[in-house]
Structure 1
Amino acid sequence: MNRLTRTAALAAALMATCLFAPGATAHAASGDWLSLTVTRPGTTGGDTRTALLLCDPPQGHPKAAQACAELTAAEGDFSRLGDKDTLCPLIYAPVHARAHGRWHGRRIDHERTYGNACELHAETGSVFALEG
């Protein structure tokens, strides 16, 4: 094994350790986890938030219990999240959100750019509320 291969293998192991907190690997293997990312396009990476949402028990997310409850009520369907009656300002400040993982054994892959943070919250509830 050459030095580059060893370095790549070590980096992959470290990333896996960082992504899955203690106890998270069992949840991920059982089928209930969502990797969430929120970014503001046009920024230099300093405005990216990530979380690994686990729901039994709720953890890994600033509003884990609320996000889990909303996902459960919507049966993991992102089109059924949020409050569609929320009025948001017409200020264009795009926010890109991505969720991938498994919810009750079903593959989830949601990715969309919203016009601003208000629209993101209105359409996804607490799921992408990653700011502490």
Structure 2
Amino acid sequence: MPNPRTTAVAATLALLALAAPATAAQARTTTANWLNVALFAGSDDKQLVGRDSATLHCADDGVATGHPHAAQACRDLAAADGDVAGIAHRDGMCPMIYSAVTAKAYGTWNGRHVEYSKTFANDCVMKAQTGAVFDLSVPATG
């Protein structure tokens, strides 16, 4: 007569073996694409601006979280293969007012380390050159 404990252990191991391929398949469908982004007043990293930082998560399945403009920021980064400096610059006019802002980011995109830091003349110039990645303003509702 089989030992009940041995039967229970064998049944548990069999269930775990069946579940393992599903877990592995799920892990392959989403990539750990994420960036921690932050804005600082001036040309140093001592004084955070407004909503100080956010961690942007961009999944392969199109789900974007952790950032007020996550979906657009993920699209901007995807188009530049995770390279913030490679984001297409938007045309437009920015005021010629010097109010420096420093944008910093670090994280992982498609398995590679990403790091970015640049000081811009003002917020408008920054958004024109980095898309939604550093737009940490809360979207208007209505």
Please give the TM-score of this superposition, normalised by the length of structure 2: 0.65
Is residue 40–residue 48 contact of structure 1 (8 Å, CA) maintained in 2? no
Match of 1:54 among 57, 62, 78: 57
Cα drift, residue 61 of structure 1: 0.1
In structure 1, stretches of 5+ residues that fail to align are 1-25
Cα drift, residue 89 of structure 1: 1.4
**Shift in CA distance, 39/45, structure 1 to aligned 2, threshold 3 Å:** closer
- State the superposition RMSD in angstroms: 2.2
In structure 2, stretches of 5+ residues that fail to align are 1-26
Match of 1:80 among 83, 86, 98: 86
Q: Distance in 2 between matches of 1:112 and 1:131?
A: 19
Cα drift, residue 84 of structure 1: 4.3
After superposing on structure 2, the runs of 4+ consecutive aligned residues of structure 1 that deviate more than 6 Å are none
Give the aligned length: 104
Cα drift, residue 66 of structure 1: 0.5
Q: Distance in 1 between matches of 2:69 and 2:112?
A: 22
Is residue 39–residue 48 contact of structure 2 (8 Å, CA) maintained in 1? no
Cα drift, residue 82 of structure 1: 4.2
Residue of structure 1 in register with 2:41 after alignment: 40
Is residue 31–residue 106 contact of structure 1 (8 Å, CA) maintained in 2? no
Q: Distance in 2 between matches of 1:81 and 1:37?
A: 17
Q: How many percent of aligned residue pairs carry the same amino acid?
A: 38
**Shift in CA distance, 40/34, structure 1 to aligned 2, threshold 3 Å:** same
